[in-house]
Chain A
């Protein structure tokens, strides 16, 4: 039978507020356990929540960015469940009246085509703490520093049809929230996590099959792997005539399998109800409009601008706008050197190759955007050749120096662009190559272009590579043509 894959993603993004969603504790990552857990975060008796205005603003910003309906009246609910990292015994979240309603994003697939994926909703909620399972005499340790960190949970429609599309969707969301500056996007620190709902149905059938939910997948690569592994598992069961159990599963990247979580537990009943400690959050059109007006350029807009105004190809513009880090880096290079196309060539060529080869993230690039831009500027103003540029780049990468001009000097890469000096060398070469001059002069004019290469080589050799090749070409052509 031919199966159709149905995937819906729930992405949790930590909002980049300074303080927690309902308390004045810091949200900074990596502090000593429980040093950023206030009375409220610990869920002590008698404490009460007050809502953080930035968490609201960031969620509305996100809603505007995905062209969603914004909930003018949103309500916090309690989701009841017992777990040691949930200090109150319930999570404060939004069920019936989320801050962000139906919206959408466009994803670009590998073949260059785009697909629109609808976003059902995005709601505000609080993160849980962490259970640490190292051995404390056979017990677990509970750290509540993360408890109360604001999250938006972004729920997609079940419109994603492959693991690759899921990754493209996740990456696009990552790009949007980081462009907006509402999430630092650091997957390794758990700033964004993804739950993948996966089911299969016979092709052509409208009704959904039974789904499983793979919890807490925290990298783009794992999303693809986990979904593919789960698709295979479900397909094997269905092909054998079995049925899928609706359950929560965990992805094990080492064993490349998903396995059932908390399977022994009876299905939980979360007993949602409106949180009586918080009142309805009410915002007006003006508030929404102010936020809408202040939205930064988003990935799709940037891509379009790079094509329309800066003359980049669709492919280049797509790559360079895909992530906030890449885009910020590229634009800094382009602005420093003033040439978007040249900047694009260097960023996508030399820089990307070096980053890939050394497995370095662009934000940790040893060559800064300012340095790369300054170096390209020296190519543009003929101080160095393109080849010289590569030498400078290599030196910067190896951190042999910080200052581009100083490196050009110390590496002796400065081109001779003094016309008198170049003319003298050219005259010398012409005088020492009578045979080649003879051939040039007697050749058909349209063949001469190719023959000039010999003279260029000689001049470059004589100048020890320092002569400006463009100028050498120009002077040679003038002088040789004068002999014809």
Chain B
């Protein structure tokens, strides 16, 4: 089998067995990136590729292994979403605003991977400041979906999704504020997990909406996602919202039996309007879980429809303040010849931010302004409570909640970019997890018209191990996760 078709777990084992060196496999992936990602026909899934650093790290990893000091991750190649600060390496967050920003420090997730000797190949493309569901808002150009170059890969972690789907890297980090790991994972046929809020440190992860943002793995299999979460997750004293809780070995429980587990199917996730093929794909996947001994139960999450309106107050409000530091004074883009400080702010920000970012900043600014705060912001926080309460109640009776990740498979590039509200509807099934702070994942559930779709698995707080276990058992008896875009093999 070609090296790039190996999963993360297989690469880790191959390195351990001495089947290949880290330098060899790193070079192999770097060559693929060069061939498939660049130029007019390339995927454009990377904003920055760091071959020299990667090869140096790979060499160091091989030496570490020779010295008998290797871990599961030593020498294993992967990529970071360009939202994570990397000391000495350009970190743009998909924006012109940070087009020249070289962080002087590492994000905790970055440091965690580094400490294991993992080899980062570069920084993946994304919607600007993680705002988008199609990767069309990146200043560095849209990303193509490897399954069909005319369609979008999803967003905001679209670069990570496309890169992993095209086997340019075996896995990549992502972040999920309203579905930004799960939706592109679904649309590119990957296994992606957004952990419980507070599981992965947010230190060094450029904030979009602080109370919703959470980092997580994007890989081909549940086993790989578990291996990755083992390292990404940590308690971090530098992040006040990081929760002091031990990180279990997520790979240790992958093969637990599922018999007796109860799956809740919220009727709000299967509306009349849901695409028939999508519904069929999800129900087929559920049937597999039944075969594995799970029972299925219809439940209700009555506030589901309020997730979109609440999210589009909370996230913009937080981002409107989070992005105020982008002012052209200490780092980042500065306009030419500002005539005074106000001009410096207005033009640097007006020229440095793209349309979607400006829209969300303006919505957030409006929602927080005098006279509207209670009607918008406080109201949204109350809705947030209702959404959380729905889940808390539901998880008294069920182990997992399942449903679709997206309403449809990947849509055509440009199809929704003219209408922000229509684009927002793309996230209707993923937002509530973020508002409640719950873990959610997407696993491949087949193809519709040759394009992958995902099954969403939601668990109770801190139940990532159970979710990965369920996903892994599913992948033991199904083949969806092994499907690859045409021409990739």
Contacts and interface: CB of A to CB of B under 8 A. Distances in A.
Interface string B62-97: 000000000000000000000011000001010000
Interface string A37-60: 001001111111111000000000
B370 interface: yes
A142 interface: yes
Nearest to A37: B330
A278 interface: yes
Interface stretch (B16-24, B98-106, B180-188, B257-265): B98-106
B337 to A, nearest CB: 12
Interface stretch (A269-277, A385-393, A419-427): A269-277
B321 A89 contact: yes
B89 to A, nearest CB: 13
28 contacts: A43-B325, A44-B103, A44-B104, A45-B98, A45-B101, A45-B103, A45-B207, A45-B326, A45-B331, A46-B84, A46-B203, A46-B207, A47-B203, A50-B237, A50-B239, A80-B320, A80-B321, A82-B345, A90-B324, A269-B369, A271-B369, A272-B368, A272-B373, A273-B317, A273-B321, A273-B377, A276-B318, A277-B207
A46 B206 contact: yes
A276 B330 contact: no
B205 A46 contact: yes
A88 interface: yes
B315 to A, nearest CB: 10
Contacts of B327: 82, 89
Contacts of B369: 269, 271
Nearest to A140: B341
Interface in A54-98: 78, 80, 82, 84, 87-90
Interface in B280-333: 317-318, 320-321, 324-327, 329-331
A295 interface: no
Interface string A266-305: 0001011100111100000000000000000000000000
A279 B324 contact: no
B360 interface: no
Contacts of B107: 46
A80 B211 contact: no
Interface residues of A, number: 28
Given A44-B103, A48-B240, A277-B240, A87 B325 contact: yes
Interface of B: 84-85, 91, 93, 98, 101, 103-105, 107, 202-207, 209-211, 237-241, 317-318, 320-321, 324-327, 329-331, 341, 345, 365, 368-370, 373, 377
A42 B85 CA distance: 15
A43 B330 contact: yes
Closest 7 CB pairs of A and B: A89-B324, A271-B368, A276-B210, A276-B211, A46-B204, A43-B325, A45-B206
A80 B93 CA distance: 23
B110 to A, nearest CB: 10
Nearest to A78: B321
Contacts of A278: 240
Most A CB contacts (10 A, CB to CB) among B84, B207, B240, B369 go to B240
Contacts of B341: 84
Contacts of B320: 80, 271
Contacts of B321: 78, 80, 88-90, 271, 273
B377 A45 contact: no
Contacts of A39: 104-105
Contacts of B207: 45-46, 277
Nearest to B342: A82
Interface string A199-220: 0000000000000000000000
Contacts of A48: 202-203, 238-241
Nearest to A267: B370
Contacts of B203: 46-48
Nearest to A39: B105
Nearest to B323: A89
Contacts of A276: 209-211, 241, 318
Contacts of A273: 317, 321, 368, 373, 377
| Residue of A80, A82, A276, A277 with most chain B CB atoms under a 10 A cut-off | A276
A273 B314 CA distance: 11
Given A84-B341, A88-B324, A273-B377, A42 B238 contact: no
Nearest to B331: A44
B241 A88 contact: no
Contacts of A46: 84-85, 103, 105, 107, 202-207
B330 A42 contact: yes
A89 B93 CA distance: 19
Contacts of B209: 276
Nearest to A40: B238
Nearest to B326: A45
Given A48-B202, A82-B324, A142 B329 contact: yes
B238 A50 contact: yes
Contacts of B317: 273
Contact of B241 (A47, A90, A271, A277): A277
A267 to B, nearest CB: 9
Nearest to B341: A84
Contacts of B202: 46, 48
A80 B369 CA distance: 10
B237 A269 contact: no
Nearest to A24: B238
A84 B327 CA distance: 9
A43 to B, nearest CB: 4
A264 to B, nearest CB: 10
A269 B365 CA distance: 10
B240 A279 contact: yes
Contact of A80 (B103, B204, B329, B368): B368
A269 to B, nearest CB: 5
Contacts of A272: 368, 373
Given A45-B326, A87-B330, A276-B241, 15 more contacts: A44-B103, A44-B330, A45-B101, A45-B103, A45-B206, A46-B84, A50-B239, A82-B327, A87-B329, A88-B325, A90-B324, A269-B369, A271-B368, A273-B377, A277-B240
Interface centre among A39, A46, A87, A279 (most CB of B within 10 A): A46
